[in-house]
Amino acid sequence: MNREHSVAGMSRRGLLGVGAAVLFGKKPGRTSDARPAILGGEPVRRKPFPSWPQVNELDERNWLQALRECKWWRREGHFVDEFERAWASTLGVNHCIATANGTGALMAALEALEVGPKDEVIVGPYTFIATVNAILARYALPVFVDTDPETMLIDPAKIEAAITPRTRCILPVHIGGNVADMDRILEIAKRRNIPVLEDACQAHLAEWRGRKVGGLGQLGAFSFQKFKNVPGGEGGAVVTNDRQLYLHAYGFHSHYRSPGENAPDLAICRNGINLRMPEFQAALLLAQLTRSEQYARKREANARYLTELLAEIPGIRPARMYPGCTRNAYHMYMMRYEPEHFEGLSREMFIRALRAEGIPISNGYGPLNRHPFLEHTLNSRMFRSIYTEQELRQWRERNHCPENDRLCEQGLWFSQPVLLAEQSDMEDIALAIQKIRRYAGELARRSSG
């Protein structure tokens, strides 16, 4: 019987309990009885997890071809057009616009929906700052809807109460590659006649009921920044099935030049800026896209196994998926840490101890809805010329997300390259956490002493 089958045949409790010595070997430092590295013991691992991004000959060949052709602007070359067609085909959508970055994709999509001053955009507070910056760049107000702590996504049950006559758009974020409850969000949006823009910047190839995210609402936005699952250094994309929205988003990203023409189409022309993707990025992305499915499958398999292992450790709560999420992209493996199951050991000390074991864990996002940059922005001359004191005061009164505040004190994640390691590396993660939990009392006393 091979090792994989023998592990599968054991109970999950056995994996981390009585059977831990068999699973992890009997070498010194390889059981959960061993002292944590932060207390002088041997770390679980010294081998690094996979690096990111990863390149091969196709990446180099495409890049050098773009360089040597000297058609570096998207309207001269062919790589950007090819990538747009490839990404649209991958997602099953009609239109794709390659942009300079994910923030630009969000901005172009918001412009296509005519989001602007005095408008409100429904958004969750557990996200990267770019989501909110794109809204503020349109001089609209982000209206934060509290987080569902179980999924770490926007709570769909609280969206409708946040809608006002000024609500111009609902912007769910598929954070970490997990998918927001699109059934409920789209039902509310349809009933209230409000467009949906999906922030899928971290959700490459994620699916809702078998359909790729990004094409479920009126528009979707993606990022191809270096750390994303499909990396291009920078880069982004707007996707849609709506021809008019496509034309407006395309026009905005290229000074209102029309697709395939050298001059603006005056029939639809509005304001625009330059958010075009250069040929170099598209050439690299086309190469990266050939391996994206392979990587996605490995992340899924390792995430499933890691979830099984962590299920036996009280106090570590992996993010739940909604039933409609048929594929999690796992840009991050997200979880919550409950210190009461670790004898009160603080999250900060837990992170330090786990990193000492050779496990690269990170704390989650902070409470974006309470970040000082928001007040600095609202107190700027531009916003004060648009919004009255009463309007800003009412916005502040609505800006309370207690579940998200709690989540921000508990959140943890592994970045996606961790899930590109081997199955045995997932066992290292579980073993390291068990070591820390066994010595949590001593660690807590030392950190408070």
pLDDT at 30 over 70: no
Block residue for tokens 């429904």: 122
Inter-residue contact 238 to 259 (CB < 8 Å): no
pLDDT at 133 over 90: yes
Where b means 16+ CB within 10 Å and e means fewer, 358-392 reads bbebebbbbbbbbeeebeebbeeeebeebbeeeeb
Determine the 3-state secondary structure of 355 from DSSP.
helix
Inter-residue contact 239 to 88 (CB < 8 Å): yes
Where b means 16+ CB within 10 Å and e means fewer, 173-209 reads bbbbbbbbbbebbbebbeeeebbbbbbbbbbbbbbbe
Burial class (CB in 10 A: 0-12, 13-18, 19+), 265: middle
pLDDT at 32 over 80: no
Residue 266's Cα: distance from chain center in Å? Answer: 37
Per-residue pLDDT band for 18 (boundaries 50, 70, 90) equals: very low
The stretch 131-152 carries a mean pLDDT of: 98
Q: Which long-range contacts (CB under 8 A, 24 or more apart) does 352-356 make?
A: 352/38, 353/36, 353/37, 353/38, 353/436, 353/443, 354/432, 354/433, 354/436, 356/36, 356/37, 356/38, 356/43
The stretch 392-401 carries a mean pLDDT of: 96
Write down the pLDDT at residue 79. 98
Share of the chain above pLDDT 70, in %: 91
Burial class (CB in 10 A: 0-12, 13-18, 19+), 273: middle
The residues facing 336 across adjacent strands are 317, 411
Write down the pLDDT at residue 443. 95
pLDDT digits (tens, 9 = 90+) for 152-181: 999 999 999 999 999 999 999 999 999 999
- Rounded to two decimals, what is the model's pTM? 0.92
Using left for φ > 0, alpha for ψ between -120 and 50, and beta otherwise, residue 276 falls in beta
pLDDT at 27 over 70: no
Structural domains present in the chain: 3-50+292-365+408-448 (3.90.1150.10), 57-290 (3.40.640.10)
Burial class (CB in 10 A: 0-12, 13-18, 19+), 264: middle
**Average per-residue pLDDT for the chain:** 92
pLDDT digits (tens, 9 = 90+) for 33-83: 899 999 999 999 999 999 999 999 999 999 999 999 999 998 899 999 999
Closest CA to 276 of 91, 114, 79, 408: 79
Share of the chain above pLDDT 90, in %: 87
The stretch 182-202 carries a mean pLDDT of: 98
Per-residue pLDDT band for 449 (boundaries 50, 70, 90) equals: low
